[in-house]
Amino acid sequence: MELNVGEVYQLFSVKFPQDYEFWWKISIEEMNHAALIESINDVFLTKSILSKDSLEKQAEDLSKLNFTVKERIEQYKLVPPSRFEAFKYGFELENSIGEFHFELFMTTEPDTPIEKIFQRLNGDDINHAIRIDNYMKNNGIV
């Protein structure tokens, strides 16, 4: 998911030169999130934290979200969004990803380094949403 979102933001950085630095920076942060997640041992994650039912539900939700993001990437490659649409979609993405991370790990006190990592990622998602919203307001994108 983080890689796909990073790709969306890279696309926006190319399509909107006036916002290049903003989108590029958030894109790099998403790629860093992906690297962090990939560094987590799958066996430890599935055996220590999630029940099989919970893992299957999260995988299904993530798969649906990823499919939607990939479709949007292809759509935007053919027909770029308006500047406003790009920011609106980025804001929506960050809130949906934040919700995913929240549902996955946010309802309990962190007991493991992995839980702490996902809670940090959730905080980053919220931060990205706020940054997108503030950038829109400060640059008259309505």
Place of tokens 């649409």: 85
Reported as a single tens digit per residue, the pLDDT across 87-128 is: 999 999 888 875 565 555 555 566 666 666 766 666 666 678
Alpha carbons within 13 A on the beta-carbon side of 102: 10
- The secondary structure of residue 18, as a DSSP letter, is G
Mean pLDDT of 24-47: 73
pTM beyond cutoff 0.75 = no
Mean pLDDT of 4-24: 95
Are 24 and 95 within 8 A, CB to CB?
Answer: no
How many other C-beta atoms can be found within 10 angstroms of the C-beta atom of residue 17? Answer: 8
Q: Tokens for 6, please give them.
A: 């990073």
> What span, in angstroms and rounded, lies between the C-alpha atoms of 126 and 120?
10
Higher-confidence residue of 20 and 56: namely 20
Q: Which amino acid appears at position 66 of this protein? A: N
Reported as a single tens digit per residue, the pLDDT across 20-30 is: 999 999 999 88
